[in-house]
Amino acid sequence: MPRPPAKNCVATNSGTSALFTSLNAVGVSAGDEVIVAPYTFIATVNVILLHHALPIFVDTDPETFQIDARKIEAAITDRTTAIVPVHLGGSAADLDTILAVAKQHKLPVVEDACQSHLGEWHGRKLGTWGDTGCFSFQASKNLNCGDGGAIITNSDEWADQCYSFHNQCRPRRTSSREAVATSSRGGNFRMTEFQAAILLAQMTRLEDQMQTREQNADYLRGLLKEIPGIVPAKMYDNCSRNAYHLFMYRYQKEHFGGLPRKRFLEALRAEGVDCNAGYGMLNKEAFIKNSLASRSWQRLFPAEALAKWEERTACPANDKLSEEAAWFTQTTLLGPRSDMDQMAEAIRKIQKHAGDLAGGTPLHAPRPGPVTRGLT
């Protein structure tokens, strides 16, 4: 069966702009609630706050690192205006369950596909399932041009809305400045010609790199699952292609003589393996509480709703995951297969010497590490 492409694309200057623009198009506004994953990059939540809406976090499925779609329905209220699942790390959130709940409650779905270029669900591209799909081309991404983004959608109506919002309220289908604007609000969130030119060149090697990542990730998964205490993230059965922006796994310190995750990652870096601890408990971050305490939110939401927000958005599974998670980033998966052998070997070595490391004895002096890449 041919894979249906998205009918429309609006190119933006970042993934954040793509999400911000999409939320406006599907009608998110001040005083609304938006359902979102807590295990994600901060931008997914910032765009909700920028619309003066309330982020409602739904806990994470620790097996997959994705939003636990089975818990979305219970979070819906009469203020809910959109669902924003994130296809974290390039793997897919459980779209079947998300789309069924969204359909039942007539809610739009904005897919945060910022990490999942060419990823698939049931053989169809991520980003084409929801009302809109948002991509990032920021420097760390599998497809990048320094900074940049895109919105794809099969709806002409959403495309018109997105275009107008990202281009100062000007309409998509005419160059006339006199024409009536499609969007009631807008700004400049356009991609530049320079970003587009770089992207066109980058796209020529995306598929090749994708295949290298997939082969290395499959091989690495096979090696790591033999190591007790290293639990690679699972994919949902219907995720037919993982973009492997991240190789995510859980580190269970009880299998490493109690060696704290921080020390495990330091030891791994000392062995020359680039790695990091991943995201945290976004639902507990101060910037959200500051927003809720501010005059705008106090005016927009009943005091009782704001008082109950913390309890309502508690995510115990995500809290635990945030303490166990570890990642390798996509560039690590672009090397030769021997790199994967060395990564697994380094972990086995740390496990063997975990007792010494827990007692403070380094395996050897830290080497100058690989280039540190920021969290994405």
Ligand X SMILES: Cc1ncc(COP(=O)(O)O)c(C=O)c1O
Q: Considering CB under 6 A, how many residues would be counted as binding ligand X?
A: 16
Site membership for ligand X, residue 14 (CB under 6 A):
yes
For the stretch 100-121, what's the b/e string if a residue is b when 16 or more beta carbons lie within 10 angstroms of its beta carbon? ebbeeeebbbbbbbbbbbbbbb
21 binds ligand X (CB under 6 A): no
How far the first Cα of the chain sits from its last, in Å, is 34
**Structure tokens given for 130:** 């929801």
Regarding 64 and contact with ligand X (CB under 6 A), the answer is no
Nearer Cβ to ligand X (69/230):
69
Applying CB under 6 A, among 28, 35, 43, 347 the residue interacting with ligand X is 43
Give the integer Cα–Cα distance in Å for 126 and 242: 10
- Contact track, ligand X, 72-101, x by CB under 6 A: --------------x---------------
Q: How far apart are CA 231 and CA 197, in angstroms?
A: 40
Alpha-carbon span 376 to 309, nearest angstrom:
27
Which of 14-22, 53-61, 222-230, 277-285 is the region at the interface with ligand X (rule: CB under 6 A)?
A: 14-22
Name which of 86 and 354 has its Cβ closer to ligand X.
86
Phi, psi of 143, rounded to the nearest 5 degrees = -125, 115
**Given the rule CB under 6 A, which of 37-45, 191-199, 282-290, 307-315 is the region that contacts ligand X?**
37-45
Smallest distance, Å, CB 326 to ligand X? 17
Choice from 149, 186, 229, 278 touching ligand X (CB under 6 A) = 149
Q: Does 163 bind ligand X (CB under 6 A)?
A: no
Angle at 125 between CA 214 and CA 209, to 5 degrees: 30
Q: In the bound complex, what is the minimum distance in angstroms from residue 275's beta carbon to ligand X? A: 17
Q: Rounded to 5 degrees, what are φ and ψ at 326? A: -150, 155
Position among 40, 66, 283, 351 found at the interface with ligand X (CB under 6 A): 40
Piece in contact with ligand X (CB under 6 A), picked from 71-79, 110-118, 299-307, 358-366: 110-118
Residue 276, interface with ligand X (CB under 6 A)? Answer: no
Helix-then-strand count for the chain, H and E: 13, 14
Q: Which one of residues 35, 54, 58, 114 is an interface residue with ligand X (CB under 6 A)? A: 114
Question: Please, what is the Cα angle at 86 between 283 and 132, to 5 degrees?
Answer: 125
Strand partners, 150: 11, 135
Q: Which residues bind ligand X (CB under 6 A)?
A: 14-16, 40-41, 43-44, 86, 112, 114-115, 136, 138, 147, 149, 376
